[in-house]
Copies of this chain bind each other. A is one copy, B any other.
Amino acid sequence: MERASTSKKDLQLAAYAKALAHPTRIAILNYLEKQSSCFTGDLVIVFPLAQSTISQHLKELKKAGLIQGELKPPKTKYCIHQKNWKIAKELFQQFFD
């Protein structure tokens, strides 16, 4: 019986899955897909959560690479990170066959 190794792909997929593992983050991404971009403040209005909580979720999504932020002082404009989005999409596709 062979020892299972945890591949880079497994780790990456798990990291993406972790970013998606919260309903609010799913909803934020859905929102971003519809709107193509938005400011933090928009989400604070749309979601019944504190501003700091929204910011924290955005941070998680950025850490995973699924979104990117652009400074538009005094606001921050977020949008989907298309390149990584595609990578994630393909990893999930492969995973599910």
Contact = CB atoms under 8 A, between A and B. Distances in A.
Interface of A: 1-4, 6, 10-11, 13-14, 17-18, 20-27, 29-31, 33, 42, 45-48, 85, 88-89, 92-93, 95-97
Contacts of A47: 3-4
From A21, A29, A31, A93, residue with most partner B Cβ within 10 Å: A21
7 contacts: A1-B42, A3-B47, A3-B48, A4-B47, A13-B20, A89-B97, A93-B96
Given A10-B27, A27-B10, A46-B2, A97 B20 contact: no
Main secondary structure of the interface of A (DSSP, over half): helix
Contacts of A18: 17, 21-22
